[in-house]
Amino acid sequence: MSTVEQTVRRPSAVPAPRPTPSVSEPPKRLLRRFVSLMILVLAIGVGLTVAAKYYLDSLQYQSTDDAFIDGHIVTISPQVSARVLNVLVNDNQPVKQGDVLVQLDPTDYQVVLDQTKATEASMVSRVAEARTQLDVKKADVGEAEAELNVALTNATNMDKDYNRFAGLDPRARSQQQFDNATAAMRSSAATVQQARAKLAGAQAQVVDATAAVQTAIADAAKASADTRQAATQLGYCTITAPQDGIVTRKTIESGMYLTLGQPIMSIVPTDVWVTANYKETQLDQIHPGQATTIYIDAYPEQVFHGTVDSIQYGTGSKFTLLPPENATGNFVKVVQRVPVKIVFDPGELAKFNRPLALGMSVEPYVTVQQRPTIWMALGLVSGKTSSP
């Protein structure tokens, strides 16, 4: 390459000088870094605040999502077998205690009641007759006792006559007189024996008559019991509500034939509570009397208040049909659940005019300690006192 070419091409390899930035131009890169840093700091602060809130709430409350509305279920079954005449209620209908639910055909039971009443009247008449016979036999005993007394008196007199004649000198008495006295004494003794036998017979008849009266009374009592039973069976033909509640699971219609003990419907009382299955590791902070905030999934906008009523003495697994047997096979430790009964505060359900069906999912929060006031002062947690 020639010297001229080198001289011409060298200036093109020298880089052009950079423009000097103006002092008034904003540092965009530094500003972006500062904004990003502030956003990161703010996000960390919000995260720490939320974490602190939930941590403090976890200290203040014990909650579980394994909870549901619970209550009594009264199963209605007929106490007699009969055909259904009328069904007077429908599903989901409110009823009061004593309201008629079902009317069964009473014909057969009315016939039995009439028969038992007739038998009872006959037994009552029989008792009266037996008592009359007893009075007669008692009168016979009195008559026999009187005859015996007369016979004893005559026998005493005859004995005296005999003893007097027997004590005389044979020359001072006639043989005929002595024979007459002897015969009279023996006759009076025989009369006494006869009177005694008659009295014994009359007393035996009194015993028999007394037994007859007792038997008649027992038969009358049985007839009276049969009458009451028949009346009770007739009364069972009218099935009434045993308590206030809501009719559910009605399975009968008019014309069906029902057998004894056949389930026909259920009544769910309006008195309900919450059964919350807490983990066993949560129970050290839960005890009866603690205030509870209750959220029901079906009504998320409504807040209920209640109180811990009791804790079941046994985990749920111990009351299953086939409890686990940990002594055999390979054991795997599983955190157990213990049912906790939570009752609603008085008047809490009265102001809520909507149904609380058994089995509805519930999320209770049991207040186990008071909210720390320092965090409230710092504003890290809200001022709520009734709910987490």
pLDDT reported for residue 171: 64
pLDDT reported for residue 58: 59
In this structure, the number of other CB atoms found within 10 A of the CB of residue 137 comes to 20
pLDDT reported for residue 261: 93
pLDDT reported for residue 353: 79
Backbone phi and psi for residue 177, each to the nearest 5 degrees, phi listed first? -65, -40
For the ranges 6-10, 53-57, 333-337, the lowest mean pLDDT is seen at 6-10
347's tokens: 């008047």
In this prediction, residue 2 has a pLDDT band, given cuts at 50, 70 and 90, of: very low
In this prediction, residue 7 has a pLDDT band, given cuts at 50, 70 and 90, of: very low
User: Mean per-residue pLDDT for 156-173?
Assistant: 69
The better pLDDT of the pair 353, 381 is held by 353
Residue 231's nearest CA partner among 319, 148, 116 is: 116
pLDDT reported for residue 8: 43
What residue type is assigned to position 246 of the chain? I
pLDDT reported for residue 24: 46
The better pLDDT of the pair 363, 34 is held by 363
pLDDT reported for residue 309: 95
Candidate ranges 50-59, 64-73, 195-204; pick with highest mean pLDDT = 64-73
The dihedral through the CA atoms of 146, 152, 155, 160 has a sign that is: negative
3-state SS class at 72: coil
Q: How far apart are CA 240 and CA 101, in angstroms?
A: 5
pLDDT reported for residue 184: 77
pLDDT tens-digit readout, 25-34: 556 777 777 7
Q: Give the mean pLDDT of the chain.
A: 83
Residue 241's nearest CA partner among 85, 88, 92, 101 is: 101
What residue type is assigned to position 164 of the chain? R
User: Mean per-residue pLDDT for 264-287?
Assistant: 92
Q: How far apart are CA 245 and CA 275, in angstroms?
A: 20
Q: What angle do CA 265, 312, 293 make, to 5 degrees?
A: 85
The better pLDDT of the pair 235, 354 is held by 235
Supply the DSSP symbol for 70. Answer: E
335's tokens: 């955190």
Q: How far apart are CA 304 and CA 187, in angstroms?
A: 106
DSSP-assigned beta bridge partners for residue 100:
240
In this prediction, residue 55 has a pLDDT band, given cuts at 50, 70 and 90, of: low
Supply the DSSP symbol for 371. Answer: P
Percent of the chain at pLDDT > 90 equals 48
Whether pLDDT at 382 is above 70: no
pLDDT reported for residue 31: 76
* DSSP code per residue over 197-214: HHHHHHHHHHHHHHHHHH
Residue 294's nearest CA partner among 338, 360, 229 is: 360
Answer yes or no: are the C-beta atoms of 94 and 246 closer than 8 Å. Answer: yes
pLDDT reported for residue 3: 44
14's tokens: 């020298």
Largest CA distance in the chain: 220
Whether pLDDT at 209 is above 70: yes
Q: How far apart are CA 40 and CA 215, in angstroms?
A: 102
Residue 374's nearest CA partner among 48, 59, 56, 55 is: 56
pLDDT reported for residue 43: 87
pLDDT tens-digit readout, 66-91: 999 999 999 999 999 999 999 999 99
For the ranges 102-106, 144-148, 251-255, the lowest mean pLDDT is seen at 144-148
Whether pLDDT at 170 is above 80: no
Backbone phi and psi for residue 103, each to the nearest 5 degrees, phi listed first? -115, 120
For the ranges 204-213, 352-361, 367-376, the lowest mean pLDDT is seen at 367-376
pLDDT reported for residue 119: 94
Instruction: Tell me the H-state helices in the chain.
Output: 3-13, 28-60, 107-167, 175-235, 373-378
Whether pLDDT at 11 is above 70: no
The better pLDDT of the pair 347, 218 is held by 218
pLDDT reported for residue 372: 55
Q: Which residues contact 88 (CB under 8 A, 6 or more apart)?
A: 99, 100, 101, 102, 103
* DSSP code per residue over 249-283: -----TTPEE-TT---EEEE-S-EEEEEEEEGGGG
Q: How far apart are CA 164 and CA 175, in angstroms?
A: 14
pLDDT reported for residue 370: 59
106's tokens: 């009473």
Answer yes or no: are the C-beta atoms of 338 and 67 closer than 8 Å. Answer: no
In the chain, the domains with their CATH numbers are 62-72+268-378 (2.40.30.170), 78-105+238-263 (2.40.50.100), 107-235 (1.10.287.1700)
